[in-house]
Amino acid sequence: MSNRPVPVPSRVWNHLFYSVAAIVFCVMAFTATKVGVTGDEFLDQRHGEFCLKYYTEHDTTFADYRNDTVLRAFPHMKYYGAGYEIVPAVAVKYFNLPESRLFLFRHLLCAFFGFLLIFFTGLTAKKLTKSTGGWGVITLLTTSCTPTIFGLSFYATKDIPFAAGFAIACYAFIAIFQGLPKFKLWHIMLAIYGIALAVSVRIGGLMLPLYLIVLFALYLLFDKAKRQMFFEKPHTLLLKSLGVGVLVVALGSLLGLCFYPNFFYEGPIEHIKNALTVVSKFPQRIPMTFEGRQIDSLSLPDNYLVKSFFYTVPLFVFAFVALFLANIVRIWKKYDMAAILFLVLTFLFPVILVLTMESNVYNGWRHETFAYYGLAVVASIGAYETFNWFSTTKLGNVWKWLAPSLIVASMMPTMVWMARNYKYTYSYYNVLAGDPYLRYDLDYYETSQTILLDWLVKNELKDRNDTVRITSKNENAVEYQKRRKYDNIIVEKHGYKAFAEADADYSILSTHFMAKKYVKKFFPPVGTIKVETVNGKPIAAVVKRDKLDSKGIKLVQQGKYREGMDLLDSAYSKNPDNFGIFFWMGYGYFYTKEYEKSIEFFNKAKEYDLSESQNVAVWMFSGVANYESGKNDEAIRLLKTAESIAKDENQRYYIKSNLALAYFKDEKFKEAASYFEQVISKYPYFQGNLNYCYLKMGRQSR
């Protein structure tokens, strides 16, 4: 009896491929309804609206966004295409899409393009195997279980449609060459659409014509049969191929470029030249957290892209790549090597190009998502060919069922992580990154802020009819409310460093860009009623405010020190980690002449980031408080520090006058006289002190 395994019928694999694709689509559609809104979406939506205005009303606002309140910091936005962004704009203007559903529509639409990216990546693998969909199934799982790809598929409205265009075009290119000498209209239309989609979003889509030329060259080099067909006289196929290629490139590129108003306004050549410059040397400065340091996108280390990739791609993908390399000889003999080499190049070329040109890449490798298409396919063939090899052994019949189980099992930890953190899957880091909490960006443009605002309104505020004031750590919730328009809700931006001063009913905070010392002692704050987490770690919180701190600070600022300190004392007893009240408690105790307590709280305030004026005041008032407490040496040390950093003229006079008194008390008359001389014009009542210094120094009084 033969030990050869009974092959799984191709129709089973085909059914499984489309079933898995359908499941992925449904999961993505569900997740799209749960995720938050990024800061980019408000900018992109407005850009799409202005692009639509140009086409319908000849409005040229896009040409200089410096006059727009939302986009004035992003004048380069005109070099982005509106291939995606014009769709939501049309839906709002012409199909009465309500603003309250705008971002849901955007997320579902982006998820559709994310699905196209995943689907055509799998379809490419299925096309290369020809007789079975097994490789395609693995590729579907590999791509959809890459958290960066899945997570960005809801809001990265420039990166994901761009990557989908590349996947569609590359699939169509391969299909066209494999179908020779015949041409299928469907494949030609897909190629045109793929190029048009990519170009309509980013000018980098013009790389696709180069990709088509590279694939043609690879087939000439590695496919003898096609080489003979091309050069067989009278070269009919070659001429047809060149004609189809020109048609695909010209039509796809021109259709894509039509979605750039600036293409028509600035002129085709000038626009393309300037757009390519923006892409290669992106001028925007984006703040980031990387390896525990808060840096900006223009100061990233040279290895940022490579490190980000190795830290955020699941380890099973690297294992599959290793299996691909281990099976390279068998793959070379068995598969369409022109297509395989092309897929490898679609991954390597963009990465090498970025590293060579030192382009400004930030937020991980999201700008390179289009390169993942080729890697996902070749990684999956590594797993698939290993499965095939073991199927030919004596354990073939057992392995036929065991191998798929092992492949799925290798993906299971990532799947579980994604299920647990489905609203924040872009926040994934593998074990190579160690503990990513507080070391890397975990909330992509703080989508948690809008998620928490929705929760707050729908749960905590559902029965309230009065006006509620909410502060948010960043602009997301503020801009979201402008579009969402919840009744009786006022949302204002208020940074976490001034949290205690916010006169609000609720505050929405996040750990994004919050220094470790704040997070460890303060976050989530007392009064928190809802927390958002990534892998069990808190990243954002809604805080119900009792306003003891903000009211107390306001009274102290008004000079009502005793009333203010009563409230601040209560606030401190409720939350001794509320760092925002430390400065004001030190300030209040100073003016109520409780100097020891003042020194205590000023010392606490020094441990945290203060504004420039507060930083000077801490050293200044601490010095005076020490002087009043009889600690003259410490007073002089603190006041000298205050003097070195103070810029305000009135503060400098005050500091120098107290230094004069401290030196006078220490009977250091030379130093005291020097400072009295500097402040005597403002404080003439120190003339007696100055004269006494002169007397002790043996000098004549002035």
pLDDT digits (tens, 9 = 90+) for 40-74: 899 999 999 999 999 999 988 888 888 888 888 78
Same domain, 457 and 418: no
Q: Are residues 497 and 397 in the same domain?
A: no
In this prediction, residue 283 carries a pLDDT of 64
Q: Among 393, 425, 457, where does a domain finish? A: 425
Residues 72 and 203 in one domain: yes
User: 33 or 408: whose pLDDT is higher?
Assistant: 33
506-510 β-sheet, strand order: 489-493, 468-472, 506-510, 537-544, 528-534
167: exposed, middle or buried (Cβ count in 10 Å: 0-12, 13-18, 19+): buried
Give Cα separations from 126 to 10, 123, 130, 455, 586 (angstroms): 11, 5, 6, 43, 69
| Same domain membership, residue 420 and residue 452 | no
- Domain count within the chain: 3
Q: Is 378 in the same domain as 494?
A: no
Closest residue by Cα to residue 444 from 159, 156, 144: 156
Q: pLDDT, tens digit, for every residue of 238-285?
A: 899 899 999 999 999 999 999 999 888 888 888 788 777 776 666 667
Domain match, 493 and 417 both: no
For residues 181 and 320, membership in a common domain is answered with yes
Q: pLDDT > 90: what percent of the chain?
A: 63
Determine, yes or no, domain membership for 559. Answer: no
Residue 95 lies in a domain: yes
- Is residue 554 included in any domain, yes or no? no
Q: Is there a domain that residue 536 lies in?
A: yes
Strand partners, 289: 294
> Which pLDDT value is given to residue 396?
60
Per-residue pLDDT of 605-648, as tens digits, reads 988 888 888 889 999 999 999 999 999 999 999 999 999 999 99
- Please tell me the predicted confidence (pLDDT) of residue 8: 52
The string of DSSP codes covering 184-215 is -HHHHHHHHHHHHHHHHH-GGGGHHHHHHHHH
In a domain, 597, yes or no: no
pTM (global) more than 0.85: yes
Domain boundary among the residues 503, 524, 545 is at 545
In a domain, 580, yes or no: no
Q: Tokens at residue 698, please? A: 């043996």
Are 362 and 457 in the same domain?
no
Q: Is the pLDDT of residue 6 over 50?
A: no
Whole-number Cα distances in Å, 143 to 22, 124, 125: 14, 12, 12
Domain that holds residue 118: 10-279+303-425
DSSP one-letter code for 367: G
CATH of the domain at 686: 1.25.40.10
Q: Assess whether 108 and 243 both reside in one domain.
A: yes
pLDDT at 589: 95
Do 476 and 419 fall within a single domain? no
| Mean pLDDT, the chain, whole residue set | 89
Q: Are 411 and 450 contained in the same domain? A: no
Cα 428 from Cα 448, distance rounded (Å): 15
Task: Note the pLDDT of residue 551.
Answer: 95
Q: What local confidence, expressed as pLDDT, does residue 69 receive?
A: 81
Looking at the structure, tell me whether residues 540 and 647 fall in a common domain.
no
Provide the token pair at 70. Answer: 């939302």
Q: What is the distance, to the nearest Å, from the Cα of residue 291 to the centroid of all Cα atoms in its chain? A: 15
Residue ending a domain, choose from 517, 545, 573: 545
pLDDT value of residue 394:
63
pLDDT band for position 177 (cuts 50, 70, 90)? very high
**Percentage of the chain exceeding pLDDT 70:** 94
Question: Within a 10 A sphere around the Cβ of 684, how many other Cβ atoms?
Answer: 10
Look at residue 415 and tell me if it is in a domain: yes
Has residue 700 got a pLDDT over 60?
Answer: no
**Inside any domain, residue 519:** yes
pLDDT at 389 over 90: no
Amino acid 2: pLDDT:
42
Interatomic CA distance for residues 82 and 256, integer angstroms: 9
